Amino acid sequence: MTRIVVVGNGMAGARLVSEIRARDRHVGLTVFGAEHGQPYNRVLLSNVVAGTMPPDQVRLLDPAWYADHSVTAVPGVEVVAVDRESQFVITATGRREPYDVLVLATGSEAVVPPIPGAERAVTFRTMDDCHAILRAAGSARRAVVVGGGLLGIEAARGLAGRGLPVTLLHLAGHLMDRQLDAEAGLVLGQTLGGLGVDIRTGVVIEEITDGGVRLTGDETVEADLVVLACGIRPVTALARDAGLEVARGIVVDDEMRTDDPSIFAIGECAEHRGRVYGLVAPAWEQAAVVADLVTGTDKTARYRGSRLVTRLKAKSVELAAMGETHLTEDDAEVVRFSHRATGTYRKLVIRDGRLVGVILLGETSTVGNLTQLFDRGGPLPGDRAGLLFPGLSGGTVAESPVRMPDAARVCQCNNVTKGQIRACWESGARDVAAVAAATRATTGCGGCHDAVEGIVDWLCEQEGVSA
């Protein structure tokens, strides 16, 4: 019997284990997780900070699942070495676990910048971090979040939602500078300001003190809770120490295989074609490929890379961005609409008649249709404005379920189309929970929940049945 060992029981590792068991009930399967407890959906941790979702609701797999599916799960035990010659992994407790196939899903870790006093702050990356933030927030009078990327914004919005005054500090000139252009960053900042988050961009931090954060110019932003959300880096030490090829991440080919044919790597620790992905959808796509290969279900399975849609998970803030969003009229055809008073910004970037970049801020109902055009790279209709405002013209892109093609991807994280949701409905799934159980739609970032619910409700209305 083939012995498969998975190192890492986060979103990538847990998904891989479930994908393998969906294909093969008998292969030997052991998974080690450095964190205590069961795997959880890291994407939804901002909801835990905000208090809109209890920790147990973000759990991915419960203990009974492992027993029911003959999976040996070893939580809270770190793997510290790989003996490639004898094909064993070695844990911090001295356990030696043999493998025929090893999959590294070690994920990433929070970046802590070299700021004096950084040890006084809390990072925002894990469930333990969430618990630490919540404990501190209970008695804090003011909070500072350092970092204006996805995680920083989500942490700041979550704390503000608890009624805590929050200041968000960001080194760059505008928020989410990797995904957004300057105007979108400005509109986003104004939206967050209206939700209780004070935005400070273009600032340099000199020190974190007991009284707050000291900036260049000797200004201090007062706070008794400082949260660091300064990015992530792949966890690669285990692979590097084992002699595997490591660049920014663990280097893999289209099979997600390292330079050791017995060892694969997936998720945020893996580097594929020079790229490391920090989002969940690519990790889950990679997990499906590896599951096909190691079980022999599809020996031709290959990972070709992912076209990403970045979604912000912050209450009362809708944002989606994809592709080459920073291009200007000098480089491409750009269609944009900005209305700062309503927190609305929409931008399409078109090159050679193809959609290569999108920003939607403030209202994102068209994201499914635009994502389909972005993914397929097909020709666009001549009415560009109709792409941004399909309800105001005779545009060919539809917002409503009745006109949405079955091939339209509704859930980006799990690659679920409208046609798959329809098929589930026809098989008896009459609500979002049933569709989620069958397809996993809504179980990633949760951003597609309203769209899935709308499709289910529409199908019920068409057939005159109760949802």
Q: Which CATH class is domain 118-230?
A: alpha beta
- Asked whether residue 462 carries a pLDDT value surpassing 90, the answer given is no
What per-residue confidence (pLDDT) applies to 233? 97
Structure tokens at 289: 């490929």
Structure tokens at 150: 């996805």
> Rounded to an integer, what distance in angstroms lies between the CA atom of residue 249 and that of residue 271?
5
Per-domain residue ranges of the chain:
3-109+233-295, 118-230, 312-463
Q: Where are the beta strands (DSSP E) in 105-228?
A: 108-110, 122-123, 143-146, 166-170, 197-201, 205-209, 212-215, 220-222, 225-228
Flag whether pLDDT at 224 surpasses 70. yes
Please name which of 25, 9, 39, 20 lies closest in space to residue 101, comparing C-alpha atoms: 20
Q: Would you call 225 helix, strand, or coil by DSSP?
A: strand
Going by the DSSP 8-state scheme, the letter that residue 408 receives in this structure is: -
Report the mean per-residue pLDDT for the chain.
91
Q: What is the dihedral of CA 26, 31, 36, 37, to 10 degrees?
A: -30
Cα–Cα distance for residue pair 305/186, rounded to 1 Å: 31
pLDDT at residue 396 in the model: 39
pLDDT given at position 165 = 97
- For 316, the 3-state DSSP assignment is coil
Q: CA 304, CA 155: separation in Å to the nearest integer?
A: 33
Distance CA 264, CA 106 (A): 11
pLDDT at 393 over 90: no
pLDDT band of 143, cuts 50, 70, 90 = very high
pLDDT confidence of residue 450: 78
Residue ranges of the alpha helices (H) in 70-178?
A: 127-137, 150-161
The answer to whether residue 395 scores a pLDDT higher than 70 is no
Long-range contacts of 249-257 (CB under 8 A, 24+ apart): 249/276, 250/104, 254/302, 254/303, 254/304, 255/289, 255/290, 255/293, 255/301, 255/302, 255/303, 256/286, 256/289, 256/290, 256/293, 256/303
- List residues bridging with 103 in a β-sheet: 6, 264
CATH of the structural domain 3-109+233-295, one choice from 3.40.50.300, 3.10.105.10, 3.30.450.20, 3.50.50.60: 3.50.50.60
Q: Which CATH architecture has domain 312-463?
A: 2-Layer Sandwich (3.30)
The model's pTM: 0.88
Q: Look at 363 and 31; give whichever has higher pLDDT.
A: 31
Cα separation, 106 vs 82, in Å, equals 13
On whether the CB atoms of residues 139 and 160 are closer than 8 A, the answer is no
Distance CA 73, CA 67 (A): 9
> What's the sign of the alpha-carbon dihedral 395, 398, 399, 403?
positive
Residue in 135, 197, 134, 193 with CA at minimum distance from that of residue 165: 197
Residue 381: CA atoms inside 13 Å, Cβ hemisphere, count?
16
Domain 118-230 matches domain 312-463 at the CATH topology level: no
Q: What is the mean pLDDT of residues 54-77?
A: 92
The residue-averaged pLDDT of 212-224 equals 96
Residue 419 has what pLDDT?
A: 84
**pLDDT on residue 386:** 84
